[in-house]
């Protein structure tokens, strides 16, 4: 059985999604256009990768991957808020990385343990330290997709990234884990979920992820879903009128996981309660006993 959240793009259902993504941790500057983009990083002249030089008719040129990387480094180097680390880097929640602009950001930046980090919307990242060359890494965003949100969280020796992405037609979310020192991925591939990705609950051994009409449990040792309910694409049909547009952070209690719908966007949907070990739905009554569409036995899940 195919797992919808694992595909490179999640087709939007008939309803219009309403995202509950919180605002970035700091204020967002207005976008600044430049006339030229140099492949030499200069934080005083290189700003956003909005290029106005093109053909004689004024058609904007598309920035190259190198220009996007240079622009991201310049943005992180010049922006004071990129150097402001959160008060508690090992918070229970993901911190929002600062976008280069409010909508359709070219890059994101944040600070951890005295180092600045910058990531292009396509996933190319760098750790920046004074007197050292930028140290490259990558968040594995799907090809031809761009991130619209990037969150980060430190847990022990790992740095976790939570992100949403879109190609302007389809969208999805992902969770990526890397070694905090080497920035090498800890998993063979990111854990994928549908769009409207919620703030995961992360325990010592698992991450509980949510997206629009999706909820699942990820094993932290390898990043694979142990189980995932997929109420999209006909895999697990929902009764008419029931919509899980977005979830709050899940709650683990007495062997059960409570996936709490966002009250503002989910049309008074009932709390989804799942048995932590088996993945069987405990409540609501209309879904009781339903098995997850995806389990760890399926390579695509």
pLDDT digits (tens, 9 = 90+) for 171-190: 999 999 999 999 999 999 99
pLDDT-based confidence at 56, cuts 50/70/90?
low
- Residue 42: pLDDT above 50? no
For the chain, strand residue ranges (E) read 95-96, 98-99, 107-112, 115-120, 124-128, 135-138, 146-155, 158-166, 171-179, 191-193, 201-202, 206-211, 214-219, 225-230, 251-253, 256-259, 272-275, 281-283, 294-295
Q: Which of 18-22, 91-95, 136-140 has the highest mean pLDDT?
A: 136-140
- Residue 209: pLDDT above 90? yes
- Residue 39: pLDDT above 80? no
Q: What is the pTM of this model?
A: 0.82
pLDDT-based confidence at 48, cuts 50/70/90?
very low
- Residue 3: pLDDT above 90? no
What was the pLDDT predicted at 301? 73
What was the pLDDT predicted at 55? 54
- 27 or 185: which leads in pLDDT: 185
Q: How far apart are CA 267 and CA 38, in angstroms?
A: 49
Q: 51-55, 204-208, 285-289: lowest mean pLDDT where?
A: 51-55
Of the candidates 135, 107, 102, which has an alpha carbon nearest to the alpha carbon of residue 27?
102
Q: State mean pLDDT over 254-261.
A: 98
Q: State mean pLDDT over 280-287.
A: 97
- Residue 1: pLDDT above 60? no
Mean pLDDT, the chain, rounded, equals 85
Domains of the chain: 23-186 (no CATH), 191-301 (2.40.10.480)
What was the pLDDT predicted at 296? 81
pLDDT-based confidence at 88, cuts 50/70/90?
confident
Q: State mean pLDDT over 192-202.
A: 97
């Amino acid at each position: 059985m195919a797992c919808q959240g694992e595909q490179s793009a999640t087709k939007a259902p008939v309803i219009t999604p309403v995202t509950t993504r919180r605002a970035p941790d700091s204020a967002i500057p207005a976008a600044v256009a430049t006339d030229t983009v140099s492949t030499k990083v200069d934080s005083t002249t290189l700003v956003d990768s909005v290029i106005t030089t093109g053909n004689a008719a004024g058609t904007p040129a598309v920035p190259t991957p190198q220009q996007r990387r240079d622009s991201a480094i310049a943005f992180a180097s010049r922006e004071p808020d990129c150097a402001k680390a959160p008060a508690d880097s090992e918070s229970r929640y993901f911190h929002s990385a600062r976008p280069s602009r409010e909508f359709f950001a070219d890059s994101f930046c944040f600070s951890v343990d005295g180092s600045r980090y910058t990531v292009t919307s396509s996933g190319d990242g760098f750790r920046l330290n004074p007197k050292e060359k930028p140290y490259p890494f990558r968040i594995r965003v799907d090809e031809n997709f761009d991130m619209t949100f990037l969150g980060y969280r430190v847990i022990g020796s790992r740095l976790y990234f939570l992100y949403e992405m879109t190609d302007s037609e389809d969208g999805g979310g992902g969770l990526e884990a890397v070694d905090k020192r080497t920035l090498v991925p800890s998993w063979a591939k990111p854990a994928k979920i549908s769009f409207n990705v919620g703030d995961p609950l992360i325990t010592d051994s698992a991450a509980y992820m949510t997206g629009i009409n999706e909820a699942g449990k990820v094993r932290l040792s390898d990043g694979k879903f142990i189980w995932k309910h997929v109420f999209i694409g006909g895999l697990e049909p929902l009764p008419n009128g029931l919509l899980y547009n977005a979830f709050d952070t899940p709650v683990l209690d007495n062997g059960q996981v409570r996936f709490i719908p966002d009250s503002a966007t989910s049309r008074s949907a009932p709390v989804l309660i799942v048995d932590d070990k088996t993945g069987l739905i405990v409540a609501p009554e209309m879904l009781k006993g339903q098995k997850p569409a995806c389990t760890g036995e399926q390579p695509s899940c």
